[in-house]
Homo-oligomer: A and B are copies of this chain.
Amino acid sequence: MNALRNATHLSHMLISRQVKQGDTVIDATCGNGKDTLFLARLVGCSGRIMAFDIQQQALESTRALLNEEGCEEQLSLIHDNHANIKSYIQSGVSAGMFNLGYLPGGDHTTKTNPRDTVLAVNCLLEILNPGGVVTVVSYPGHTGGLEEYAALESSLMNLPQKCFEVLTANFINQANHPSQLLYITKLS
């Protein structure tokens, strides 16, 4: 059964089509490290994954998970706001992933916010290679989640269609505010 399941699963399917061994990729919201591990496996030891989080707890969980899975070699953890991505890397990125909201199991008041998210996604689009992609999974059921999605959507719908392709994907028959996906491809 090849169900798409949810926005995260769909984002992994789409990212897998694009990212290959040796690539440089970014996890803009490393959280507990699940996307980081997924990306680390895709790029392999010859690749590089830069994972951002503002919470030390998230970075530690991510490091522990990647160590456990033997993927620490390609990992750079960065304790900073993802809005500052361009201070760390200026080009050559194949893919970036965002998983918005709060750290699962952590403090729910520390979470991504519309201003920094919009800024970070747009910075990532700038440093992306042609053909590179960005995924954003957001949670309309979280406090502020709808507003964050709306802010990002209105920024992305203005991207020039000759340069970017912006897809929204929604599971419309699921209860309890299912997660939503934004998927952006840099065309040139």
Query: Taking beta carbons and an 8 Å cutoff, which residues of A are in contact with B?
Result: 1-5, 10, 17-18, 130-131, 153, 156-161, 164-175, 183, 185, 187
Contacts and interface: CB of A to CB of B under 8 A. Distances in A.
Top 8 nearest A-B pairs by Cβ distance?
A: A166-B173, A157-B172, A1-B131, A169-B169, A159-B173, A161-B174, A157-B173, A168-B170
Contact of A158 (B157, B158, B173): B173
B3 A187 contact: yes
10 contacts: A2-B185, A4-B185, A153-B172, A157-B172, A157-B173, A160-B173, A165-B171, A167-B169, A168-B172, A169-B169
- Copies of this chain, complex-wide, total 2
A174 to B, nearest CB: 5
Given A156-B173, A172-B157, A1 B130 contact: yes
A140 B172 CA distance: 18
Contacts of A170: 167-168
A131 B3 CA distance: 7
A18 B172 CA distance: 21
Contacts of A18: 2
Nearest to A169: B169
Contact of A3 (B2, B158, B172, B185): B185
B165 A173 contact: yes
Contacts of A175: 161
A55 B39 CA distance: 49
Given A157-B173, A166-B172, 18 more contacts: A1-B131, A1-B187, A2-B18, A2-B131, A2-B185, A4-B185, A5-B165, A10-B167, A153-B172, A156-B172, A164-B173, A165-B174, A167-B169, A167-B172, A168-B169, A168-B170, A168-B172, A169-B169
